[in-house]
Amino acid sequence: MTDQSVPQVRTSAEVSQSSESARGHGVSRRALLGTAGATGLVLGTAGGAVGYATAPASATPLTSVGSDRAMFHGKHQPGITEGLQARGHLAAFDLAAGAGRKEAAALLRRWSATAERLMAGEAAPHDDTDVARDAGPSSLTITFGFGHGFFGKTGLDAQRPGALDPLPDFSSDHLDKARSDGDLWVQIGANDALVAFHALRAIQKDAGGAARLRWQMNGFNRSPGATAHPMTARNLMGQLDGTRNPKPADSDFDRRIFVPASGEPAWMANGSYAVVRRIRMLLDDWEKLSVAAQEQVIGRRKANGAALSGGDETTPMDLEKTDSQGNYVVPLNAHARITRPDRNGGAALLRRPFSYHDGFDADGTPDAGLLFVCWQADPLRGFVPVQRKLDRGDALSQFIRHEASGLFAVPGGAARGEYVGQRLLEG
């Protein structure tokens, strides 16, 4: 990984320096960040004696969250290797009737300019709504991708990657076509809900007459600083989700997650493919199970994510271990057993999901679950074989339902002076 793919975080000194600069050059849209951060730290220290006396020093102070900044320009687009964010929005757009390559290029140019400014904690280029006026960047990331239909509408069929062929049907699918696919895909994440919504609104307004919204979904994760120390996130089933995620430090991480610089088509160099699935969790059924039964379905302890074969969360799973009755300790149909890369030809997925809750059905059933987003260099060697195997006998399948789906080609990051997708649209 290059330095450009790692999120850059402003230190307290840098925040203070920006505050001093603001005094000398006029207050910009978010120049008050430094002053607000300093005040918050004082209040936080005083408040610790009342409500947070037992919180260890390693916990991230919530007053610092706003100053964290991810970089727009880089080898890869933002929103792939960064940690999970507290709030997310996923949206797909279809090009408007009559819009083609020229209109798409202008749109991506607008979107890229807006993303660069918002990720820096600045106002939108025009008609800013002031929703995020008082906040810093808050780790905002905005990511753009292209769906299968985009290429025909822009006359770029010859540039459509083979890896973007439609996903096969799976027996567990109950897909709503209106909430699936799309010509253009946008992923927004931030550690502040108003910052995330502000970005969503700006992106939608920028679409203008070039594209219309096809679908949009809202998600969330645990907020930074809510736990005593950084840890794997939990999903709405209460399970740790992402224990075996590939890590940028892995020697084969880039090969598994990103298209190589020499890959085809050339415009996808350093890009990746995102599979997006809205997975409804049948929580009423799940919560009727005992904790022990839930652990048998997953193959891991609910409390700490350790494999049922023993150890802690990071201890390798012993698939051959049996109990006194000769039964496998990790059941054959356990979700964690089936999804192991070494049981799927080495297939690796970088999971970066958001939970969602969209209210309740008329009978009180929660419409809640996971906005599953996974990244890989080739979905035909990543998501597809794993999902096919899950489709054949995953114990978790009776407690979930796949209700929407999409596959998007996400080009590499834009260099300074470029917009995302420029190498495709102007190549």
Active site members: 241
Burial class from Cβ neighbours inside 10 Å (0-12, 13-18, 19+) for residue 320 reads: exposed
**β-bridge pairing 366-376 and 87-95:** unpaired
Helix, strand, coil share of the chain (percent; to 5): 30, 20, 50
Q: How far apart are CA 227 and CA 83, in angstroms?
A: 15
Cβ 88 vs Cβ 223: under 8 Å: no
Q: Which of 277, 217, 269 is nearest to 427 (CA)?
A: 269
The set of residues, in sequence order, having a beta carbon less than 8 Å from that of 261 and lying 6+ positions away, is 269, 270
For residue 123, the Cα-to-chain-centroid distance in whole angstroms is 23
Cβ density class 27-54: b for 16+ within 10 Å, e for less: eebbbbbbbbbeebeeeeeeeeeeeeee
138 phi and psi, to 5 degrees? 55, 40
Structure tokens at 1: 């990984």
The contacts of residue 396 (CB under 8 Å, 6+ apart) are: 297, 298, 335, 390
SS3 string of 256-298?
A: HHCCCCCCCCHHHCCCEEEEEEEEEECHHHHCCCCHHHHHHHH
Gap between the terminal Cα atoms of the chain = 26
- Match 């890869």 to its residue by tokens: 76
CA distance 22 to 238: 45
Q: Is the peptide bond before 78 cis (omega within 30 degrees of 0)?
A: no
Place of tokens 């909430």: 179
| 111, two tokens | 């979107």
